[in-house]
Each structure stands twice: as C-alpha cells, then as structure tokens.
Amino acid sequence: MNIEMLKEWLNPAYLDTNTIPKMQEAFKESPLKSIRLNHFLNDRSYVKTEISVHKAKAKHAKIADRFSYSDVVIPKQVATFFTSKEFLRLISVITGKKLKRCELSIKKFGHRDYTLLHDSEALKPGLEFFFDINPVWNPAWGGSLVYRDAQEELFRLHPTANALTIVNRKKGMFRFLEYVNVKSGQNVRIVVQGLLS
C-alpha cells in the first residue's frame, strides 16, 4: 500500500495499525455487513474536496418515477483518490473482498430531489460506498439513505459530512434516498458514490 498517498488524504486515525483490525471486526460483526467511518478524510482534504465538488458543473436529471438529482462532473483529484488502488486496497482490507473496479459518480440532492426503490432494483448486489459532503444536516429535512428488503426497513443513514459508509448490499436489499423536503431550504447534500467490483 502506498501509505504516502493515503496519508495525504485520510484522517491519520484510519492508518493506525491498531484501527484496521477494529474496522475489520466491526464490518464482520454488523448484521447487515456495513460500516460507517466518521471524519474519514483529514480536514484539509475534506475542505479541498468540498470546494472542488461545489465548483464542478452539474446537470439535473429526472425520471419522475425513479429519481431526481444533479449529476456532478467528477473533479479529477476526487476521481483519482476514490478510484485509486490504495483506497480500494483499504476497503479490501476492511471488508475482506477482492476489489478491482470502482464505478464512481457524484450526485447532488437539493430540495425536491430523491431516488425511489424502483431505481436500485436494476443494480447487481455488491459492495458499495457513499461519501457525504454536506453542511450540518437535520434528518427532518429528508435526504437520508434508507436500506430495506421486501419486508422492512433495515437501516437509515442520515447525511453526515465527511463520513464514508461501506455497505455490502445483498440480493433482495434495496435502497432509496428520501425526498429532500422544503425544510432543507437552500442546503444540498452531495454524495460520492462508488459501486465496487
């Protein structure tokens, strides 16, 4: 692993050799095979990422019975980090899965944006991650990422700035991003999403 590259981006706590086994265990022990790493990037890298993503061009896309959000053109540095061998290696180590590819996208959700369950039905099950860029967020504004199966809601991730969430989405497990309602005002949540294989 190219530690120098990770050092430049990550919160040093995640590079501590004592932290790795804890993350591995937390992922393995969680009933739905997921883990959330708070304060994932170091402050400098988070701010840099936030600024570049906000500056990037975005285009609104909507198929009303499936989704509504803006597709953000991925800034080069962000793409380089989140698809790097080093970053994928770290996820591999935590999850115990061999990874070769990361299909990266950045989506922006403001007032009236959402995705519906319908939209994740077409996705193959597999490992995925979400990295959150947003101001301090009140869950009452909507915008939470909700995982469920045919019977019930499994878990709900509220937008948390600088948190990386890794989920092993199994067959029959779907997700949607709750409608962002009028209470959110001008606030937007941005999600860096990676489908891993």
Partner 1 sequence: MELTEWVSRQVLDNKNALKKQFKGAKPFKHILLTNFLKADKHKAVEAALMKEQFYRKEADLFKLKQTHELKNTQSPVLLAFYQLMTSANLRKFVTELTGIKLKGGIDMSGACYEFADYLLCHDDQLSGRRIAYIYYLSEGFIEKDGGSLVLFNTDKGKPGSVAKVYPPKANSLMLFEVSTKSFHEVTESLSDKKRYTITGWLH
The reply to whether 38 sits near partner 1 by the rule CB under 8 A is no
**Beta carbon of residue 117, minimum distance to partner 1 (angstroms, whole number):** 5
According to the binding rule CB under 8 A, does residue 116 interact with partner 1? yes
C-beta closer to partner 1: residue 122 or 182: 182
Identify the CA nearest to 8 among candidates 52, 53, 42, 38.
42
Residue closer to partner 1, measured from CB, 4 or 152: 152
Write b or e for each residue in 75-89: b if 16 or more Cβ atoms lie within 10 A of its Cβ, otherwise e: beebeebbebebbbe
Q: Contacting partner 1 (CB under 8 A), which of 112, 158, 193, 195?
A: 112
Binding piece for partner 1, criterion CB under 8 A, among 10-18, 38-46, 85-93, 110-118: 110-118
CB nearer partner 1, residue 55 or residue 59: 59
Closest distance to partner 1 from the beta carbon of 66 (Å): 8
Nearer to partner 1, 9 or 176 (CB): 176
HEC profile for the chain?
A: CCHHHHHHHECHHHHCCCHHHHHHHHHHHCCCCEEEECCCECHHHHHHHHHHHHHCCEEEEEECCCEEEEEECCCHHHHHHHCCHHHHHHHHHHHCCCCCCEEEEEEEECCCCEECHHHHCCCCCEEEEEEEECCCCCHHHCCCEEEECCCCEEEEECCCCCCEEEEEECCCCEEEECCCCHHHCCCCEEEEEEEEC
Smallest gap, in angstroms, from Cβ of residue 51 to partner 1?
31
Q: 90 vs 189, which CB is nearer to partner 1?
A: 189
- Told to check if 123 binds partner 1 by CB under 8 A, we report no
Question: Binding pattern to partner 1, positions 166-185, x when CB under 8 A?
Answer: ----------x-xx-xxx--
Count other Cβ atoms within 10 Å, centred on residue 174. 18
Please choose, out of 58-66, 72-80, 85-93, 163-171, the segment that lies near partner 1 by the rule CB under 8 A: 58-66
Residues engaged in binding partner 1 (CB under 8 A): 63-66, 112, 114-118, 146, 176, 178-179, 181-183
